[in-house]
Each structure stands twice: as C-alpha cells, then as structure tokens.
Amino acid sequence: MSHPTPLCLDNQGNIFLAVNPAVDRRTKHIEIRYHYIREFYERGEMDIYFVASEDQLADALTKNVPFSGIEKFRSSVGMMRYSTS
C-alpha cells in the first residue's frame, strides 16, 4: 500500500481510543474493539482524522438528510444537477 487509508470519524472519544493504548477500568471492556484499527494505525497503514458530523459525506448515503445536506454532498463529490426540462 503506497498511502495510508484515511478513516474519518466524528467522535473524539473513538479517535482517542483508536490511537492511544491506554487502558483503565472505564475502557477495558471496549479495548478489544479498537485493537484491529490501532494495529493498522501503528503500522502506518491508516490515518485517523476528525471530521465534524455535518461534514461526513457518507451520511448522505446512510441517513435521513435534509435537502441542504444532499446539495452539499452533491457538490462535494462533483455530481451535477440533472434537469428534465
């Protein structure tokens, strides 16, 4: 792989757990879930970025998004408006 795969998250807590090996009594039960991602991150195969919820492009394909969100998604991915007239 020539470039690390980007992982864009909108939760600072998830980012912290994915990149920091710290374990305490509050995070011990969820620690195993993050080993897989942390291994990729530590090997330089994945970069983890914070992206605010309103800027998550994937939400337009997976969630109920208002028209303004669809318009933002459309322009961000280079889609053009189609007119039948």
Total domains in the fold of the chain: 1
Domain annotation covers residue 11: yes
Domain annotation covers residue 82: no
Model confidence band, residue 6 (pLDDT cutoffs 50, 70, 90):
very high
Domain annotation covers residue 84: no
Q: Record the tokens describing residue 43, joined without a space.
A: 């090997």
**Residue 83 identity:** S
Q: What is the pLDDT of residue 63?
A: 82
Domain annotation covers residue 81: no
* Whether pTM exceeds 0.85: no
Domain annotation covers residue 46: yes
* 48: containing domain: 5-76
Neighbouring-strand partners of residue 50: 9
pLDDT tens digits along 37-48: 888 999 999 999
Q: What is the pLDDT of residue 34?
A: 65
* Residue 19 predicted with pLDDT over 90: no
